[in-house]
C-alpha cells in the first residue's frame, strides 16, 4: 500500500497479480460480449509493461474455449493498447488510429 504504480510495474510478482486480475476481466468480457478487440489504456498501462501479463492470464482463463483468429498465439491483436497513446482519452481508444 502507498506504492506508486510505476514502482509496482518494476516488480514481477506485482505484475503477475495485477495482470492476472486484468486478464480475468478480459476473458470475462470476451465470453460475455464477444468484442473484436479489447483495449487497455490509461496511466496504469503507460509503457505497456502489463500487456504480456494480461494476455497470458486471459489465454489461461479462456483455455482455448473461444475460436477466433485473434485469440490464437499471444493475443497481441486481441488485447492491445490504444494506437493513439496518451491522446486516446480525448480522441478515443481506436486501435486503428482513426479519430471519429
- Supply 69's cell numbers: 483468429
DSSP-derived letter for residue 3 is -
Q: Which residue has the higher pLDDT, 29 or 4?
A: 29
Beta bridge partners of 80: 39
Domain CATH for 52 = 3.30.420.40
**pLDDT > 70 in the chain, percent:** 81
DSSP-derived letter for residue 88 is H
Q: What is the mean pLDDT of residues 39-68?
A: 87
Q: Is residue 71 part of a domain?
A: yes
Which range of residues forms the domain containing residue 19?
A: 5-91
Q: Is residue 99 part of a domain?
A: no
Rounded Cα–Cα distance for residues 72 and 64 (Å): 8
pLDDT at 3: 77
Q: Is residue 26 part of a domain?
A: yes
Q: Which residue has the higher pLDDT, 95 or 42?
A: 42
Q: How many domains does the chain fold into? A: 1
Question: CB-based contacts of 27: which residues, under 8 Å, 6+ apart?
Answer: 57, 58, 61, 62
Amino acid at each position: 500500500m502507498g506504492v506508486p504504480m510505476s514502482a509496482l510495474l518494476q516488480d514481477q510478482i506485482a505484475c503477475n497479480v495485477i495482470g492476472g486480475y486484468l486478464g480475468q476481466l478480459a476473458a470475462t468480457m470476451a465470453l460475455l460480449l464477444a468484442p473484436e478487440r479489447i483495449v487497455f489504456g490509461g496511466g496504469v498501462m503507460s509503457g505497456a509493461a502489463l500487456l504480456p501479463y494480461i494476455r497470458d492470464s486471459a489465454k489461461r482463463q479462456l483455455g482455448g474455449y473461444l475460436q477466433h483468429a485473434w485469440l490464437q498465439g499471444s493475443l497481441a491483436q486481441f488485447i492491445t493498447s490504444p494506437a493513439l497513446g496518451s491522446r486516446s482519452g480525448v480522441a478515443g481508444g481506436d486501435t486503428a488510429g482513426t479519430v471519429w
